Amino acid sequence: MTKTPKRNWYKEHIEPLLGRLGNWYQAHIEPLLGRLGNCYQAHIEPWLKGLWYLRIPAVVAILSVISFGCVPQTIEVYRVLALNAAEPKLSYADFQTLFSFVFILLLSFSIWYSANILIKYESGNKLCKQEQKEELKCLSNILSFVPIGSLIFGLANAINFLENFIEWILCIVVCLAVYCAYYKLIIECVFSQREPPKKDDVIFFAFIPFLMFWLFTFILIIPENPIKPILITVICLLTLVDILLFLFPGLRENNNKYITFLAVVVAVALVIISYYYLSKPELVTSVLGSISIISISFSGFVIFSSLISYVGYKYNFPILAILLISLTGFSWFDLNDNHRIRQVENPRSQQLMTLEKSFSDWKKARTDDIAKFREAKPKERYPIYIVSAQGGGIFAAYHAASTLSRLQDLCPEFASHVFAISGVSGGSLGAAAFSSLINTELGSVSLDSQKKLNCSGKLHKEVRGKLEQKAHELLNQDFLSPLLAAGLFPDSLQGFLPFPINSLDRARGLEYAFEKAWDSAYPPDSKEQKPNLLKGSYYDHWNPKKSAPALVLNTTVVETGDRLVLSPFKIDLPNLKDISSVACNAKKEDIIDPPLSTAAVLSARFISVTPVGWFNRCDRDEKGKPIQSSSRKSRLADGGYFENSGVSTAVEIGSRLEEFLRKEKEQEKIQVVYLAITDLRPQKIDRGFIELFGGLNEIMSPINALYNSRDARGFSIIDQAKYLTDPASYDPNSIFNSGFKKHYSSQRFRQFYLHNQEFTFKDGEKVISQDEKRLSENGSDKTEFPLGWLLSEPSQEAIKKLVGGSQDCGKDGMKTSNNDCVFESIKEELNY
C-alpha cells in the first residue's frame, strides 16, 4: 500500500502568507516610513536641533510657565494685585502691577534677544547653519511669547476667585494686545532691522544682569555705614552707562549734541530716582513685587547664560560644564554652606531655668489670681492653657495670630493664662507675632498691677478687635518678595563660591521682612511707635512675671529626624530637647542667641524655599558641660517634617506640668487645658490629584507618601491627645462628637479648625445638616490657601470668618460652629 506523503503546511500556507505580508510591507509600510523619515528630517529634526541650540532660552521659557502660570502662590499674587488695583487709592500694589507687566515684557524681549544673539552673531557656526535660521527665528518668536502667555494662563486661573469675571477677561485681552503692540513696535520695527549685534553690544547687554545682581545684593547685605551710599551711587551710574551705551550707540559713533544732551538728562533723572529708592531697601521689593523680581532674575539668567554658552561653543571651552561641576563640588564637600543661624549683635550665653522651675515662678506670679478664681468658682479648677499652632506658611501664621488675638480681645485675661505656645513653621510666626503684641501692649505692666477684666460679650466675625487689627497689620505684608530677592540674587552667587558668606543667606530676606512688618503695626515717627521686639533676642521675649506666653518653636534635626525646640526654659528629656542643651557655647560664634524673627523663621524652613539652618552641636559630659572636641555641624529644618500640628510638644510640656502639679498636690486646684489651632482631618481622598499623578507611580508614590505622612502623623497625634486627655468624652469613630456641648466644660483638649463646620443644637445635642455633611465629605466648602508667604485679601477675609467667636453656642435652633463653642467655653472659664 502506497503511503500518502505528508503535507507541508508551512510551505503551503505560512510561506505564501509571509510573502504577501512582505510585499504589503514593501508596498505600503516602507514608503510610509520613508515619508515619515523625510518629514522628520525636513520638519521635526530642524526644530529639535534648534531647540537644543536654544536650550537656555527654552529652559527659561519653561521655568516661566511654571512660575507664572502653575504655582498656587503666584495665583495668590495675582489676586492681591487685582484687588489692590481696583482700589481708588494709589498704593505700592499699583506700581507692582505696572512693573509686573513691564518686566514680563522685558523677560520676553530677553529670551528673544538671547536667542537671536545665538542665531545672528556668527552665520558660519556649525550649530547654526544658514538653512536653519528661519526655523530658529520662528522658534525664538514662540519662546518670547511664552512668559506673557504664562501670565495670561495664570490670570485665567485667578479669575475663578474674582467677582468681576468680564473685567478680567478684558484684562487678558489687553495683555494680548499689549504683547502684540510690543512685538510689532520693539522687535519687528526696531531690533529685527538692526545689523547682527556687535561684540560691544553683546558685552554691554550681558553686563546688565551682573549689575542687577549687585543692586539687589548690596541693599540686602550692606549694613548702615558711610560706604553704602557710595556703593549704591556707583552701581546706579554703571547700570545707566551700560543701558545708555546700548540704547544710544550714537554716543560712541558721533558727537550729536542733542542725543548727548538727552542721554545726560535721562541719566541724571534716573540716578536721582534710583538713589532715592535704593537708599531705602524696603521700597525696592515693595514697589517691584515678586512677579517683577522673578522676571528680572530670569532675564539676567537667560542673557548671561546664553552668552556664556555661545562663547563656550565658539572657543570650544566647556564654561557651563565647569560652572556646574564647581556648583556640585563645592556643595558636595560642604565648603560654602552660608545658612548658619543668625545671632543678635552681641550674643549672650544663656543660663536657662528648668521647665519645672520656670513653671513654678510663672504660677507663683499668679497666686492672687488663682485665689480669686477659686473664691469665685470653688468647684472648678484654674485653667492653664498650652497652645499648639500648626504649620502651613503665611496662612497658618495668619490663622494662629488671628485666633489668639481675637481670644485676647474677647477675654483680656486670656494671655496671662497661656503658659506656652508650641509653634510649627508658619504657626511659629503667628505665635511670635501674638507674643510680641502682648509684650508691647501689656509688657510694661506687672500682673499684680493689672486690672482684672472679665470677658466681654460677643465679638462679631466681621469686625476685628484692637489686638486682632494689630496682628492683621503685622501679617498683611508681602513676605514673598524679599525672600525671592534674597534667594534669586545674593544667595544664587553663593553656590559658585568655595567659601560661605553668611550675609548672603536667603532666609534673612524673610527674617528682615518679618522685622520690617512691625512698622506697619507701629509706624515709626508716630505716637504709636514701639520698640521692635522681633529684632530683639529670642530669650528676652518671655518673663514668667508678665502676661506674654513662652514660645516653644519646633524644628527637625536633619541628621536624626528628631525634634529640637527653641525654648526660653531648659528642656532636656530623652525624646525632647531644647537647642541650648545641645549647642556648643565655649566660643562666641557658637553661642545660640538669635533674634526673635530668626527663631520663628528657623521653625519655618521648608523644601528649599527657605534653607535649613545650622549650628555647632556638642555632646555633654556627666556634669552636663559641652565636650568641645565633639563639636560638629547640625542642621535644622522645618518642624513640620517631624510633626506639623505642634501637639506632640504641647502634650509633652503639659504632661510635665501635670506631674509637677501632682507633686505639689495642686491638681485639684489647677488643670492644664490644650488648645490646638489646626484643621479637620480630610474626609475624602482628592481624586483629582490621584488622576493627575496616578500614572507616575514609581516616581510620585514615594514622594506623596513622605509628604502626606507629615499631616497624617499630626492628625494621629491629635487623636491620641484627645483620648489621653478626655477618654470619657472622646469618640474615636467620629470627628464630630454628639456630646460636644454636654461635656465641653470638662474637655481638656479643644481645637480651633481652619476649615470650620456650621451646625445647630437640638435638645443640647449637635445636629449637622445633610448639606453640611455633603460639603464636608466632598471638600467643596474648603477654601484652598497657598503654602507660601503672601496672602490675598479674599484669603484673609475667609480666615477671619472661619476663626469664629462667641456666637450663641448651645442654644437650640441657633446656627453655630465648633470654633464658636471653643470661644464660648474659654469665655465661661475666664469670667470670674
User: pLDDT tens digits, residue range 274-283?
Assistant: 555 555 656 6
Residue 683, SS3 per DSSP: coil
- Contact indicator for 752, 819 with CB cutoff of 8 Å: yes
The neighbouring-strand residues paired with 749 are 674
Residue % of the chain over a pLDDT of 90: 21
DSSP string, 613-674: EEEEEEEE-TTS-EEEEEEEEEEEEEGGGT-SSSHHHHHHHHHHHHHHHHHTT-TTTEEEEE
- What does the pLDDT read at residue 258? 60
Strand 563-566 relative to strand 816-817: parallel, antiparallel, unpaired? unpaired
- What does the pLDDT read at residue 737? 46
Query: If you average pLDDT over residues 653-676, what whole number do you get?
Result: 90
| Residue 259, C-alpha cell as written in the block | 542725543
Which residue did the predictor score with more confidence, 559 or 587? 559
Residue % of the chain over a pLDDT of 70: 68
Handedness of CA 398, 85, 165, 480 (dihedral sign): negative
How many C-alpha atoms does 412 have within 13 Å on its Cβ side? 11
Q: Say how far apart CA 593 and CA 350 lie, in whole Å.
A: 8
* pLDDT band, very low/low/confident/very high, at 772 (cuts 50, 70, 90): very low
* pLDDT band, very low/low/confident/very high, at 781 (cuts 50, 70, 90): very low
Residue 75, SS3 per DSSP: helix
**Is 239's pLDDT higher than 90?**
no
> Of 142, 601, 642, 81, which Cα lies nearest the Cα of 341?
601
* Residue 537 phi, psi (nearest 5): -65, 140
* pLDDT band, very low/low/confident/very high, at 776 (cuts 50, 70, 90): very low
CA 779 to chain CA centroid, nearest Å: 24
Report helix, strand and coil shares of the chain as percent, to nearest 5. Answer: 60, 10, 30
Query: What is the per-residue pLDDT across 761-771, written as a single tens digit (0 to 9) for each?
Result: 555 555 554 44
Which residues lie below 8 Å from residue 192, measured CB to CB, with a gap of 6+? none
DSSP string, 463-515: S--HHHHHHHHHHSS--HHHHHHHHHTHHHHHTTSSS--GGG-THHHHHHHHH
DSSP string, 690-756: HHHHTT-HHHHHHHHHHHHHHHHHHHHHHHHHHHHH-TTT--TT-SS-TTTTTTGGG-SEEEEESS-
Handedness of CA 620, 626, 628, 634 (dihedral sign): positive
**Is 445's pLDDT higher than 70?**
no
Give pTM, 2 decimals.
0.85
Query: What is the per-residue pLDDT across 130-175, written as a single tens digit (0 to 9) for each?
Result: 566 777 777 888 888 888 888 888 877 776 655 555 655 666 676 6
- What does the pLDDT read at residue 703? 74
Query: What is the per-residue pLDDT across 334-382, written as a single tens digit (0 to 9) for each?
Result: 898 999 999 998 888 888 899 999 999 999 999 988 889 888 888 889 9
Query: If you average pLDDT over residues 429-456, what whole number do you get?
Result: 79
| Residue 223, C-alpha cell as written in the block | 549694613
Phi-psi region of 665 (alpha: psi -120 to 50; beta: other; left: phi over 0): left
Query: What is the per-residue pLDDT across 732-763, written as a single tens digit (0 to 9) for each?
Result: 444 444 444 455 566 889 989 887 666 555 55
* pLDDT band, very low/low/confident/very high, at 715 (cuts 50, 70, 90): confident
**Is 318's pLDDT higher than 90?**
no
- What does the pLDDT read at residue 80? 76
Burial class (CB in 10 A: 0-12, 13-18, 19+), 399: buried
Q: Where are the domains of the chain?
A: 29-197
Query: If you average pLDDT over residues 673-687, what whole number do you get?
Result: 74
> Which stretch of 183-197, 391-405, 406-420 has the lowest confidence by average pLDDT?
183-197
- What does the pLDDT read at residue 832? 77
The type of residue at 764 is: G
- What does the pLDDT read at residue 541? 92
Q: Which helix (H) or strand (E) holds 761?
A: strand 758-762
- What does the pLDDT read at residue 634? 92
**Is 187's pLDDT higher than 70?**
no
Query: What is the per-residue pLDDT across 323-335, written as a single tens digit (0 to 9) for each?
Result: 889 989 998 998 9
| Torsion of the alpha carbons at 302, 307, 310 and 316, rounded to the nearest 10 | -120
Strand 418-424 relative to strand 382-389: parallel, antiparallel, unpaired? parallel
- Contact indicator for 552, 570 with CB cutoff of 8 Å: no
The type of residue at 636 is: L
Show the DSSP H helices in 121-198 as ranges: 133-159, 165-182
